[in-house]
Amino acid sequence: MSVQKFNDAAGNLERVVLSGPKGSSVEIHVYGATVTSWKSQGHERLFVSKQAKLDGTKAIRGGIPLVFPQFGPGPLPQHGFARTRPWSFVGASEHGEGISATFELHDNEETRASAWPFKFILSYTVDVTATTLSTIIKYENTDTQEFDFTSLMHTYLRVPDIVHTTVTGLESTIFADKVKGISAQESRAEITVAANEDRVYENVPGIVGVRCAGETVSIRRFNFKDIVLWNPWAEKAREMADFGDDEYTQMICVEAGTVASKISLRPGQTVSCGQLLTVEKDAN
């Protein structure tokens, strides 16, 4: 197992690559602390658009962008500022089954001058083993007053074919359909995507799975209540400059977060939230 650090043309740290057991690896850009690659069992598990901007000019289109302190539109720019700020690489360490790295983001003059002016520390740990990827954020309120926020891990999973991909674990859950402007209860045990989908599933009770080509990536959440399901489909894909017109067939976003309600922290209080992604071969 090993840690590699890569600098940009100006000599600044650009990304960190962790090499884990049995050929597994994970790549994290310090811009947004965005995970841009996760390889397990010989396959790339995350989708990053071929047209994604990796030069720090905008949020990276793919991987696992971090949404904080605002989900969606609002007083701040779309999805807040965590995914468009440089994070600090704290260090990496090996453990029995894998290797992890930690990154930090602190408030600064720019964030304190924004519509969300509080003092905070985010500590983000990315851990890879042969078959798993764990991404955990510890949120700390270092301000003198209570604040609240929404947060989400905007995970883009790579799939061979969206038409033959199913999502499980959301049956009977209430969702808000942002495309149709309605709320309803999910009746399907296996969800397929065949159009532009943008849904917030609220208070999801258990493990969510994404199945395609004889494998399932299971998503276990820690202190995150909700799951967002998103695919832009053809028309929306054509509207995005940093997304290929036909790339919607190769990805699905299944995003762990708390966005239908808010997380509140008193001064000095912390909370840790995150997800564990596991690759599982389907039984024959």
Q: Where are the domains of the chain?
A: 2-281
pLDDT, tens only, 29-69? 999 999 999 999 999 999 999 999 999 999 999 999 999 99
139 has pLDDT over 80: yes
The yes-or-no verdict on residue 216 having pLDDT over 90 is yes
User: What percentage of residues in the chain have a pLDDT greater than 90?
Assistant: 96
pLDDT in the model for residue 110: 96
pLDDT in tens, 68-110: 999 999 999 999 999 999 999 999 999 989 999 999 999 999 9
Whether residue 284 is predicted with pLDDT greater than 70 in this model: the reply is no
Among candidate residues 272, 256, 249, the one with its CA nearest the CA of residue 221: 256
Residues in the chain, total: 284
Per the annotation, does 78 bind a ligand? Answer: yes
Given a contact cutoff of 8 angstroms between Cβ atoms, the answer to whether 44 and 158 are in contact is yes
Query: Into which CATH architecture does domain 2-281 fall?
Result: Distorted Sandwich (2.70)
In contact, 26 and 20? CB cutoff 8 Å: yes
- The response to whether 61 counts as a known ligand-binding position is yes
Active site amino acids: 154, 255
172-193 pLDDT, tens per residue?
999 999 999 999 999 999 999 9
* Cis amide leading into 160 (omega within 30): no
- What is the sign of the dihedral through the CA atoms of 262, 264, 270 and 271? negative
Given a cut of 80, whether residue 283 has pLDDT beyond it is: no
- Measured distance CA(118)–CA(108) in Å, rounded: 9
Residue-level pLDDT at 253 = 98
CB-based contact 167:229 (threshold 8 Å)? yes
| Tokens read off for 226 | 């909700």
Read off the tokens for 74.
């609002």
| Window from 7-11, 22-26, 214-218, 260-264 with minimum mean pLDDT | 7-11
